[in-house]
Amino acid sequence: MSNNLIISGGGTGGHIYPAISIANQLSKKISNCNILFVGAKNKMEMKKVPQNGYKIIGLWISGFQRKFNLFSNISLPFKIIFSLIHSLIIILKHKPKIVVGTGGYASGPVMYIASILGIPVFIQEQNSYPGLTNRILSKYATKIFVAYDGMDKYFNSSKIIVSGNPIRKSIKNISIKNKSDYLSSIDLKSDLQTILVLGGSLGAYQLNEFVNKNLDFFEYIFDCKIELTIESDLKKLCQEIGSNHLSYFAGDVTSFEDNLKAVEIAKEKFGGLDIFVANAGIEGEVNTLENYDIEKFDKVMAVNVKGPFLALKASIPALSARGGGSFIITSSIAGLSGAAQIGAYATSKHAVIGLMKSAAKECAEQNIRVNTINPSPVETRMMRSLEEGLMPGESDQAKDLMLSNIPLGRYGKPEDVAKVMLFLASDDSSFVTGSVYSVDGGSTA
């Protein structure tokens, strides 16, 4: 007897590749497993899923366009109705025992119809701040598999299972070419500068666009810390560049071994390491100190403080071998003053300033400069999470309150931060070390 399953999700690599990983494991664990994918027409899942050996059906569906697009938004109700009918036909024909959704608007219609028909529905949420589709569908889900603690802010706690993110086996078996062959294949020279940027997907597209405009300076390797939603952005950037000047490695910033591996990849692929940007960070929960979860506090400190410490430990020898370089840590204006209800985050951002100043003195004789960038709120998804956490259901009011403390009257843009990073990475800052650079619209004036 065949065990029919449907997996739905798409739009970005962050939704597609976890879905493929789940399918691969289900195929191994369940006998006579017959998996059908459902995605959105003309999106990347329509190519990526068949390339991995699975059948996929595309729905005529799209998301709501936040930027004004009259035709797309007028046609959206018709697309939803059509996709609901199409999903019903697919489910009645395929007769799945379960339906799994990994996010993206393509998963909405099929997951909703399955729940109405009494078919068990499961959600796999990759992000610390869930997307709109998964938040809406959560009320219909049997169980919700998440990668982070604290997701009970968005989902029913009785449904949550903290499982981590599914990873394809191919990621664990990355084959690194030898240095001479790789440099030759991408026409690079060993004296080109290489930057290692550690961070997630928040604001990644804008940062990629900025770097693309400054390629005369930047040759860098990008570490995306498991959350692969930036993979499509990186692919697009690589296509625009027209050569393989950009690479990324999926790892854990709280692991010394992964930090070493990232540095070694930079050395193997690009001949050395000149600039290291320690940008990875998490906000933790919004709560009073009295009620703050201890494990969540430890996690914030591990990513935001231990991460840069391990990055320094791993990269100092490589930077020194190149005759010096620049190590840049992303802190925050929360590291310059107190911040109610985000005590763990503020503590971690104070701590990395102390780490930076100590490292600046230790590393000066090796010509390694160490500085922090301390942004005020920046227009990324992290701020949506913090706004909702500070004033649940009234995030717009939370944003207005934060804006009232910024003299220039707006949140920062990712490129505002990137431009200061560019200065600190360049030789123009050759006499700058041990310094705190506020990018805050006057917040700390």
Q: How many Cβ atoms are within 10 Å of 47's Cβ, its own excluded? A: 12
- Higher model confidence: residue 286 or residue 71? 286
pLDDT recorded at residue 227: 32
Q: Mean pLDDT, to the nearest integer, of 315-321?
A: 95
Q: How many Cβ atoms are within 10 Å of 148's Cβ, its own excluded? A: 17
- Higher model confidence: residue 110 or residue 244? 110
pLDDT recorded at residue 217: 47
Least confident of 130-139, 304-313, 380-389: 380-389
Token pair recorded at residue 170? 């191919």
Q: Classify the phi-psi angles of 10: left when phi > 0, otherwise alpha if psi is within -120 to 50, otherwise beta.
A: left
Q: Mean pLDDT, to the nearest integer, of 271-292?
A: 89
pLDDT recorded at residue 224: 32
The tens digit of pLDDT for each residue in 325-380 reads: 999 999 999 999 888 888 999 999 999 999 999 999 999 999 999 999 999 888 77
100-114 burial, b at 16+ Cβ within 10 Å, e below that, comes to: bbbbbbbbbbbbbbb
Q: Mean pLDDT, to the nearest integer, of 274-284?
A: 89
pLDDT of 392 above 80? no
- Higher model confidence: residue 246 or residue 315? 315
pLDDT recorded at residue 171: 58
Least confident of 78-92, 172-186, 298-312: 172-186
- Higher model confidence: residue 17 or residue 181? 17
pLDDT recorded at residue 215: 54
DSSP-derived secondary structure for 220-248: EEEE-TT-GGGHHHHHHHHHHHTS--EEE
- Give the mean pLDDT of the chain: 81
Residue 165's pLDDT band (cuts 50, 70, 90): confident
Q: Mean pLDDT, to the nearest integer, of 140-153?
A: 90
pLDDT recorded at residue 226: 29
| All domains in the chain, ordered by first residue | 3-169 (3.40.50.2000), 174-439 (3.40.50.720)
pLDDT of 176 above 70? no
For residues 311, 202, 205, 168, the Cα torsion angle rounded to the nearest 10 degrees is: 70
CA distance 364 to 434: 9
pLDDT recorded at residue 191: 56
Q: Mean pLDDT, to the nearest integer, of 436-444?
A: 91
Task: Give the 3-state secondary structure of residue 161.
Answer: strand
What percentage of the chain has pLDDT greater than the value 70?
Answer: 77
Residue 71's pLDDT band (cuts 50, 70, 90): very low
Least confident of 146-155, 242-251, 335-344: 242-251
